[in-house]
Amino acid sequence: MVTPPGIVSSAATHVKTTPEPTSSYTGLVLTGSKKTNQVILDETYIAQYNNWYCADLQEAIGQPYLYPDERYKITVSSSASTRWGHTNILLLKDNDAQIFKTISPRWDDVNKKFIYDGIVPVVLFSDVMSPRSQIFSVEKTGKYYICLDDRQYSSEGFKLQTGAPAFEAYVKLIKNPE
């Protein structure tokens, strides 16, 4: 009979043994090292001009939540910038993503950016005309969404347009940026 490693064999019983530590205690506590500049998302999303789209970030990166004190760098660009701009790209917490779907942004003439009343974006890239980046830290465990907003304003307010041509928005997310 062959005895598997870690099992001591006797005629009467099999006893599992625990190997002895191979090094002595030094008084130091070791912690896991963080991988830096880990690309966890490198995605192109397609949305219609003059409309909005939200993507579940957790589904895209394959983890259930973002956790407190995690740091990320988000980089965005949009093919919509080849026309007159107005594409906003937002990173929203779960509750704000649900509200986002029911509100329209308004233009702030003083600060030259769009405002979304009733929500607080984690990151807001307003009027994306060229590649942009921002580093952020997660404050609260939860689900997050990447939302593209290309709704166009007219004197009658924001109008959604169905069947409009599509545009691409590129999003790259790096965990633990240096």
What CATH number has the domain bearing residue 59? 2.60.120.680
116-153 pLDDT, tens digit per residue, is 999 999 999 988 878 999 999 999 999 999 999 887 65
Question: What's the whole-model pTM score?
Answer: 0.73
Query: Is 21 inside a domain boundary?
Result: no
Query: For residue 23, is it within any domain?
Result: no
For residue 15, being part of any structural domain is answered with no
Average pLDDT over residues 40-44: 94
- Asked if the structure places residue 32 within a domain, the reply is no
- When divided into structural domains, the chain yields a total of 1
- Domain annotation covers residue 119: yes
Poorest-confidence range of 8-22, 65-79, 154-168? 8-22
Instruction: Give the chain as a 3 state SS string.
Output: CCCCCCEEECCCCEEECCCCCCCCCCCCCCCCCCCCCEEEEEEEEEEECCCEEEEEHHHHHCCCCECCCCEEEEEEEEHHHHCCCCCEEEEEEHHHHHHHCCCCCEEECCCCEEECCCCCCCEEECCCCCCEEEEEECCCCECEEEEEECCEEECCEEECCCCCCEEEEEEEEEECCC
Q: Is residue 91 part of a domain?
A: yes
Does residue 22 surpass a pLDDT of 60?
A: no
User: Does a structural domain hold residue 12?
Assistant: no
Q: Is residue 57 part of a domain?
A: yes
| Residue 59: domain span | 38-175
